[in-house]
Structure 1
Amino acid sequence: MAATVKIWDPLVRVFHWSLVASFAIAWLSAEDARDLHLWAGYAAASLIAFRLVWGIAGTRYARFSQFVRSPRAVAAYLRDIVSGREARYLGHNPAGAAMIMALILVMAGLCLTGWLYTTDAFWGEDWVEETHELLANILLGLVGLHILGVFVASFRHRENLVRAMLTGRKRAPSTGDVTA
């Protein structure tokens, strides 16, 4: 069995799967179970707030400073994927990091517009409801792209990233892998 190293701490993993569950519950309950939809939204908002704090004060691979890259670095990494020469990253690769930030931002906007719609000032405002629905659809598309990216990276680097997000462990670095 190949040597592994611990990458994602339990809080990152619980956050990830809890956010998956809260979005799925909110999406599925949007039309028929208003209270469940609201509580799933509040859970998602709380999780996002936690992740923002943990992104600053958390463990090494949880910190935004460890994995957020410039748009130029993301574009270069995407070009490397197309050419088949992308490096394996021990933490999040630049494309994955950009996706994480997009998911967090859109989820935060979704939570904000959902909350606004419950206030007296914005109840019944079409633009709030339409923005909320648009953000939900954008988030669903981002989730699809995220899943596709996970499968592509898993295949290309011969590493099960879903299992890594369950266990917190990835294959130990080898020559050419990016650990920073």
Structure 2
Amino acid sequence: MNTTSASPAERDTAGSGPGRILVWDAPVRVFHWLIVLCFAGAYLTAERESWRLVHVTLGYTMAGLVVFRLLWGIVGTRYARFSNFVRGPRAVTAYLRGMLGGRTEHHTGHNPAGAVAIVALLALALAVAVSGWATYEDIGGKWLEEFHEAAANIMLGVVGIHIAGVLLGSWLHRDNLIGAMITGRKTGRPENGVRSAWRSVGILMMVAVLGFWWTQWNSAPGGVANGPATVSGKAVTQDRDDD
């Protein structure tokens, strides 16, 4: 089931200088890009009734992804675990002070400031998904709908801060952090790389998500564009042009 991450050359040079090593396993990378897709898609379809099926499906998917990430943060590979990168306020403050002073400390996994953004995004994603479900089920009233919208907007702001931090970190450390979330590889010593990419789990994640999307699509009689759609057995009325 596991896929060896380090090449023979990397294993033979353990203890040598820094090189490209595997840091982010496949489940972390698949989660990252799926959550990006789900949040962006759900945010863009929030105001159109005719896109409600897509909006709700992406919200449910986001909730499932967060639950998976919380579990993988306990049993996953080294740099995926919360115990590896979640630090207290003192460590975060020290890292930020060093960054402002041009003395950034390189971290193989997430740095302390990035960890704060990740935890915040996970919490906000769960809040958005749960409040969205409750709003869709007419639980909680108008205040919950407003909370749902506010949480989504706050999450968008945190996403912007996170992107800015990634770009700044890439420049300060001369390491492409965006590319690392695609390939899984960052600069580091060979002995610090994770030994398994767990590609099989990443594939299972994709299969599960695509299967769920297919089920949701088939639950809509005639598809999204041809009449009232249903999501989890609930009718969705399409908006109509006034003119």
Structure 1 residue runs of 4+, over 6 Å off?
A: none
Name the SS of the counterpart of 1:47 in structure 2.
Answer: helix
Aligned mates of 2:82, 2:189 — CA distance in 1: 21
Q: Which has the larger radius of gyration?
A: 2
SS at match of 1:26: helix
1:137 aligns with 2:157: no
Gaps of 5+ in 2: 1-17, 191-243
Root-mean-square deviation (CA), in Å? 1.5
Partners of 1:71 and 1:35 in 2: how far apart?
41
Aligned counterpart for 1:118 among listed residues 133, 136, 139: 136
Output aligned runs, 1:23-102, within 5 Å.
23-32=39-48, 33-102=51-120
The secondary structure found in structure 1 opposite 2:21 is strand
In the alignment, which residue of structure 1 is the partner of 2:37? 21
Report the Cα offset of residue 74 of structure 1.
Answer: 0.7
Of the candidates 162, 168, 172, which is equivalent to residue 178 of structure 2?
A: 162
**Aligned residue number for residue 27 of structure 2:** 11
Q: Could you tell me the percent identity over the aligned residues?
A: 51
Cα distance in structure 2, aligned partners of 1:93 and 1:149: 10
Identify the residue that residue 178 of structure 1 maps to in structure 2.
none
Choose between structure 1 and 2: higher helix proportion. 1
**What SS does structure 1 have at the residue aligned with 2:161?**
helix
Aligned pairs for 1:143-158 (under 5 A) are 143-158=159-174
Equivalent position SS for 1:97? helix
Question: 2:79 is aligned with what amino acid?
Answer: Y
- What is the rounded CA distance, in whole Å, between the counterparts of 2:160 and 2:24 in structure 1? 22
- What letter matches 1:53 in structure 2? L
Normalized against structure 1, the TM-score is what? 0.92
Letter in 1 for 2:19: A
Relative contact order, higher structure (CA 8 A, sep 6+): 2
The answer to whether the Cα contact below 8 Å between 2:19 and 2:189 also exists between their aligned partners in 1 is: no
Cα shift at 1:120: 4.0
TM-score, with structure 2 as normaliser: 0.69
Q: Within 2, Cα distance between the matches of 1:15 and 1:126?
A: 32
Residue-pair matches, total: 172
Separation (CA, whole Å) in 2 of partners of 1:118 and 1:26: 14
